[in-house]
Structure 1
Amino acid sequence: MPNVRLHDYQEYSKDLILHKSGVGLFLDMGFGKTLTCLQALYEMNPACHTLVVAPKTVAATTWPAEVEKWGYPFRTLSLVVDGRGRTLPGKKTLELVDGLAAEPSTLCFLNKERLASVVAHVMDDPACPFIGTWPFPVVILDELQAFKSSSSKLFGAMARVRPQVAKIVGLTGTPSPQGLTDLWPELYLLDGGRSLGTSEDTFLTTFFAPHDYDPGRGKKKIRFWDPLPGAHGAVMARIADTCVSVANPNISLPEVTVNDITVAMDAKERDLYDDLFYNWTLTLGVDGQGRPVEVDVVSKTVLSNKLRQMASGALYLGDGREYVPIHERKLDALGQVFEASTAPVLVCYHFRSDLDMICRRFGVAGDGTRKDTAVEVFDGTAAMLSRWNRGEIGRLLIQPQSAGHGLNFQEGGHTMVWYTLPWALEVYMQANARLARQGQRHPVIIHRILCADTVDQRVAGALAGKREVQDSVLRDVARDVLGRRSRDG
């Protein structure tokens, strides 16, 4: 029997899973959503197959590791990797799904990128033993926000088989990273439209007012939806019976300090930045054949990305991997953090140029550099994650888009550095939660290296604004667990 003791808010969440057909656990990162689901499955003891759909690394490592860690007696099957951690060919994944027809109830793990192909195979392929019948009556969607676009293949695939799913659970700490409009697709999958309706158009016209943005240069206008007065409260009231969030549970979570480190370009570097900002073109000397090296920008989106590159110290010359260094201000600041830190440091980079420049400055372990001064680059494997958590890696570089979901880094350190901030709130919050989560024994410090008077400040401000909307959603969905239990008898 698993030796598990849940917090009160986890017990309440587990009970919802047991008694409802569709539940959204909008619990902040680090609040043990995976464990809550595993305990619910253990108590349910479903006589059927269960499918967990998650980001690849989470499906391949986190879920199996949690099952093993807590001693759950589930029969498990990875539809992502083989026993040696190698990615399965797509055909092999489908063969394993077919094989479930002759197997007892199994807890299966699938990366979200393959959900559409599995659905198409099961529903359309005459060779599939399940043809037309979805073999997973219980589904857990880890990182539910990945389904927030109703036009995506991911949403379409899940919506197609949703009528054949008896119980579905959606897990996320960021249900609305871009605003309230994200909620309709997510809730539709959870309750079939009971809370927010079966029509996204009706949902939008009921709670929002449209406005069109003209990007110019002959490009198509972009439609945005602004919440109407009172829309937030009305939407929250409708989803209250389906979703649960505990804004301030009575448990001990680590304190988090965000420390902005500001660096500044010199006059020459600033001139380059300003030239590109104002003129949308920049000449960077000449190449080896005497030809001018020029960078031309064709849209505001491209301009923003180029300015972010320059703020972090480099500028890509085109769509390829060639770039030119602009400055080393952030490298200097990172070196100061390394020198001042007495514990391992987790560094979040964004651009390939970030990674290259950091590795050149500090060296990479294994290339002849002294180990105590070098960095290592996270390769996504459980072996490297274990080394980090054992304290064997002093400076680890991660790319948050690929390593920011579901992985537990909190045992190995409590210091994080953002070398380049992302625009996406989801990426930012998920990466921060790799350290700031249950099991963290130290106060967490998050350093953000920002280049003064650049797009870095705009990105930081945008993240703060999106977080306000996100926190508002979580507060309004939040349940007073003890009070609710008292009212429910």
Structure 2
Amino acid sequence: DAGPDVRRAVDAAGRLVGRLGPLLDAAGPARGRLRMLFTGRQARSRVLEAVAEVHTAVAEAEERELPLLFGQVSVDLLRAPESDVAVWVDFELRSAEYYSLLAEMSGAGPDRDAAEGFLPSGMADRVRGLRLDDAHLRVSLRGYQSFGARFALAQKRVILGDEMGLGKTVQAIAALAHLSARGETHFLVVCPASVLINWAREIRARSTLRTLPVHGPERQSAFDVWSRDGGVALTTFDALHTLPAAADCGLRPGMLVVDEAHYVKNPATRRSQAVSGWTQHTERVLFLTGTPMENRVEEFRSLVRHLQPELAPSIHTTHGAAGSLAFRRAVAPAYLRRNQVDVLTELPALVQVDEWERFSPGDLDAYREAVGAGHFMRMRRAAYARPATSAKLNRLRELVAEAAGNGLKVVVFSYFREVLHTVGQALESPVFGPLSGSIPAPRRQRLIDDFGAVDGHAVLLSQIQAGGVGLNMQSASVVIICEPQIKPTMEHQAVARAHRMGQIRTVQVHRLLVADSVDERMLDILARKERLFDLYARRSDVAETTPDAVDVSDGALARRIVEEEQLRLATATGAISAADEAVEIDGTDGTAAVDETAPEVREG
């Protein structure tokens, strides 16, 4: 009944009353000339000071548009009850807020320790004691989100490593809004180009902060405007190194936010050096990443060196070997992580199904040719080489037809643009995309918006690299992955685009696989790696006692699979150098494999 802004309105009104109450008492004699006439000189001076402070408080409230906020909430309260249909539509649009309120009222919210990332009690108490100023915020935060924003403010230089779907962006915006309310004027956000437009949209929707894109041909003039007028400057990793360095321009932003911060884990890269220049001249720095410890502790340690260099030497692999709590204690001053299962008790079910198929004769011929040539990437997409007889493609059409019958939206992910092109031609449904790294970020966002705006069934095609970072696809409730991925995190991130906060339906994930093929070999080898990733990156309680299992390079994995398949099919023509194959720019695919050896290619 009260609408989405009631909590913010009540909190703001409470603070205003708390401030005005004592001032109005002190200014009481100013209500009448006679009372002021019989008030002593010193008392009259105090009364006039109180009157001035009342004027200041009222002026600040008007500047924050509190009268408009209070008026809107009052109108919401006076409205007649909505129809059942309107209520359901509102629930679909704001399901996260409904679930959050229900959890709060029923006492069924997440465990507090889990919501606070199992931080040491003293540190958690200090973070809880910081009061978040939401004067410039336009969204109600969940409890764990408020804690995350306060952690960033209290600890000043930290990594927020929440699992995807928990609202890291919102927590960063809340921290920026707090600092803005306290007088800071300049903020800098650095992110991949693919999510820059999403940052601009999120900041505008969830705060009153002014945004200014600083990239493209006009980035220098935009930087000059930001330097002069302030606001939130949004730039990319590639653009940052072309801008004046922090030391040269004399600017000290109130906070630097680095999204997808694992892009700067390699200190030798240009992007890492550019970010480092700003971190050294900024008091408050917030790194956002869902997978900061994907492979080795050293990668996590390199991120900490940007933030708290004195802490990095104390982080050892032995902390992981000793278990989760030991590792958490070691990194607590600079690291906070929460997982969906711990804090999003309302998230609908995630149903994952492996769709196993057998090669058709045509598929098998194409696969044998790829194996004989020792071509790892062609082996991975051989199941789609003969569309007319493709077993995977036939099953994909069946899944899409079932989704269409239920009016559900579908996202189809593949590593290969060639596969997505084949899928698009095979479908009769309304098809959007494919999304790929070559599509400009604004057009990519428009495709997702158009897909979400369709009434009922539609299909969105996306390269898994382009759709797995920073884009929200929660209008889809069916996810189809065309082939297994070399890195477990790539699939986790892609699925999390749909299975995230705000989703109101069960999300079905279908992974298309072929038995006795590269798919099965990959799953066999990756099974142990994925278990270790799940334990290590999500739970932080596995050390580098088996570094070969935690950090299997793409090249080593590809080489092993090619050799095994050549032996199995008795086509021992000599394995190619699969390490080169794993990072090549494939002629038909047009994209590089995701590998740290090619960071500039990967971001592009």
Normalization by structure 1: what TM-score?
A: 0.73
Alpha-carbon distance change, 270 to 181 in structure 1, aligned in 2, over 3 angstroms: farther
Ranked by relative contact order (alpha carbons within 8 Å, sequence separation 6 or more), the top structure is 1
Counterpart for residue 122 of structure 1: 245
Out of 439, 442, 449, the residue aligned to residue 386 of structure 1 is 449
Alpha-carbon distance change, 250 to 354 in structure 1, aligned in 2, over 3 angstroms: closer
Q: Does 1:195 align with 2:311?
A: yes
Counterpart for residue 237 of structure 1: 329
Out of 189, 211, 227, the residue aligned to residue 52 of structure 1 is 189
- Aligned-partner Cα distance in 1 for 2:204–2:240: 24
Partner letter of residue 174 of structure 2?
A: Q
State the SS of the aligned residue for 2:502.
coil
- Aligned-partner Cα distance in 1 for 2:267–2:324: 20
The 8 Å contact of residues 264 and 451 in structure 1, kept in 2 or not, is answered as: yes
Counterpart for residue 124 of structure 2: none
- Aligned-partner Cα distance in 2 for 1:26–1:14: 12
- Aligned-partner Cα distance in 1 for 2:201–2:508: 27
Normalization by structure 2: what TM-score?
A: 0.60
Alpha-carbon distance change, 8 to 231 in structure 1, aligned in 2, over 3 angstroms: closer
Q: Tell me which moved more, 447-456 or 457-466.
A: 457-466
Counterpart for residue 222 of structure 1: none
Structure 1 residues 424-446: Cα deviation after superposition (integer angstroms, max 9, x where no partner):
33322221111111100001111
The 8 Å contact of residues 413 and 479 in structure 2, kept in 1 or not, is answered as: yes
Counterpart for residue 283 of structure 2: 166
Alpha-carbon distance change, 469 to 195 in structure 1, aligned in 2, over 3 angstroms: farther
Alpha-carbon distance change, 361 to 475 in structure 1, aligned in 2, over 3 angstroms: closer
State the SS of the aligned residue for 2:359.
coil
Displacement of 1:167 in angstroms is: 0.7
Q: Does 1:27 align with 2:162?
A: yes
Structure 1 residues 74-129: Cα deviation after superposition (integer angstroms, max 9, x where no partner):
1210124xxxxxxx22xx212221333321x31111122322223xx436xxxxxx
Alpha-carbon distance change, 152 to 464 in structure 1, aligned in 2, over 3 angstroms: farther
After superposition, where does 1:87-166 map in structure 2 within 5 Å? 88-89=216-217, 92-103=218-229, 105-118=230-243, 121-122=244-245, 131=248, 133=250, 135-166=252-283
Out of 382, 391, 401, the residue aligned to residue 465 of structure 2 is 401
Counterpart for residue 78 of structure 1: 213
Counterpart for residue 41 of structure 1: 176
Displacement of 1:461 in angstroms is: 4.7
Q: Does 1:432 align with 2:518?
A: no
Q: Does 1:355 align with 2:420?
A: yes
Considering only aligned residues, what root-mean-square deviation do their CA atoms show, in Å?
A: 2.9
State the SS of the aligned residue for 1:177.
coil
Alpha-carbon distance change, 12 to 467 in structure 1, aligned in 2, over 3 angstroms: farther
Partner letter of residue 470 of structure 2?
A: G
- Aligned-partner Cα distance in 2 for 1:338–1:476: 35
- Aligned-partner Cα distance in 2 for 1:476–1:6: 25
- Aligned-partner Cα distance in 2 for 1:10–1:313: 43
- Aligned-partner Cα distance in 2 for 1:33–1:374: 30
Alpha-carbon distance change, 34 to 373 in structure 1, aligned in 2, over 3 angstroms: closer
Q: Percent identity?
A: 22
Q: Does 1:68 align with 2:139?
A: no
Structure number having the greater strand percentage = 1
- Aligned-partner Cα distance in 1 for 2:526–2:187: 36
Alpha-carbon distance change, 268 to 471 in structure 1, aligned in 2, over 3 angstroms: closer
Out of 150, 167, 181, the residue aligned to residue 15 of structure 1 is 150
Equivalent residue pairs, number? 392
The 8 Å contact of residues 433 and 462 in structure 2, kept in 1 or not, is answered as: no
State the SS of the aligned residue for 2:235.
strand
The 8 Å contact of residues 180 and 232 in structure 1, kept in 2 or not, is answered as: no
Structure 1 residues 39-76: Cα deviation after superposition (integer angstroms, max 9, x where no partner):
1211121524211111212112x212222222x11121
The 8 Å contact of residues 24 and 242 in structure 1, kept in 2 or not, is answered as: yes
Unaligned runs of 5+ in 2: 1-134, 542-604
- Aligned-partner Cα distance in 2 for 1:176–1:458: 25
The 8 Å contact of residues 137 and 165 in structure 1, kept in 2 or not, is answered as: yes
Displacement of 1:20 in angstroms is: 1.4
The 8 Å contact of residues 254 and 440 in structure 1, kept in 2 or not, is answered as: yes
Bigger Rg over Cα: 2
The 8 Å contact of residues 174 and 470 in structure 1, kept in 2 or not, is answered as: no
The 8 Å contact of residues 307 and 455 in structure 1, kept in 2 or not, is answered as: yes
State the SS of the aligned residue for 2:267.
coil
Unaligned runs of 5+ in 1: 81-87, 124-129, 209-226, 282-296, 298-302, 315-323, 364-371, 479-489
Alpha-carbon distance change, 361 to 94 in structure 1, aligned in 2, over 3 angstroms: same
